[in-house]
């Protein structure tokens, strides 16, 4: 599907993939109305909704073939579709970050410092700042090594500093 804004329009003779009974098919467009399916014989046979196919989700452009017996494939679809805007999600690799956390050890109120040299966070799992727990949110991601530091005393991933 194309990225960006698309005007409403009509699809004519959109060939569906060769399929068996029970197959779900995604049409090329969403927000479908006035769907007409026909087979590929010289004199096309019109498919009957409820007998040959069902519309599983018109907004999503999803149909299901129920019975293809005696029909010549490929099945062809003609329909109107509504205007929509499609935006890609997660189209770039998340950047690597250096993470420094300065906190307090709640057992003795001493300072705790965590340095992580290379972190790549996953998209937010949950960011619920209105919660019973004070300012909590969950982050997931990957901790990556710095190869040049792997032989050092602190290792190549990070360090933990505890106030004495």
Structure confidence at residue 136 as a pLDDT band (50, 70, 90): low
Residues 51-69 have a mean pLDDT of 95
Query: What are the tens digits of pLDDT across the range 66-105?
Result: 999 999 999 999 999 999 888 777 788 888 999 899 999 8
Structure confidence at residue 39 as a pLDDT band (50, 70, 90): very high
pLDDT in the model for residue 1: 45
Residues 40-54 have a mean pLDDT of 95
Query: What are the tens digits of pLDDT across the range 144-161?
Result: 898 888 877 778 899 889
Model's pTM, two decimal places? 0.58
Residues 103-126 have a mean pLDDT of 85
Tokens representing residue 162 in the block:
């505890």
Are residues 15 and 78 in contact, defined by beta-carbon separation less than 8 angstroms?
no
pLDDT in the model for residue 87: 79
User: Strand 53-57 to strand 62-65: parallel, antiparallel, or no bridges (unpaired)?
Assistant: antiparallel
For 37, what's the count of Cα atoms within 13 Å in the CB-facing half-sphere? 26
């Amino acid at each position: 599907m194309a990225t960006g804004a698309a005007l409403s329009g009509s699809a004519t003779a959109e060939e569906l993939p060769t399929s068996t009974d029970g197959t779900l098919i995604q049409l090329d467009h969403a927000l479908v109305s006035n769907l007409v399916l026909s087979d590929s014989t010289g004199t096309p046979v019109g498919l009957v909704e409820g007998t040959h196919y069902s519309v599983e989700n018109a907004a999503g452009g999803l149909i299901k073939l129920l019975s293809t017996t005696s029909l010549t494939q490929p099945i062809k679809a003609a329909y109107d579709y509504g205007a929509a805007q499609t935006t890609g999600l997660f189209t770039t690799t998340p950047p690597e970050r250096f993470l420094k956390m300065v906190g307090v050890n709640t057992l003795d109120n001493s300072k705790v410092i965590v340095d992580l040299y290379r972190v790549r966070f996953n998209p937010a799992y949950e960011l619920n700042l209105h919660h019973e727990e004070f300012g909590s949110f969950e982050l997931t991601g990957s901790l990556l090594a710095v190869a040049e530091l792997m032989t050092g005393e602190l290792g190549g991933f990070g360090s933990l500093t505890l106030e004495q």
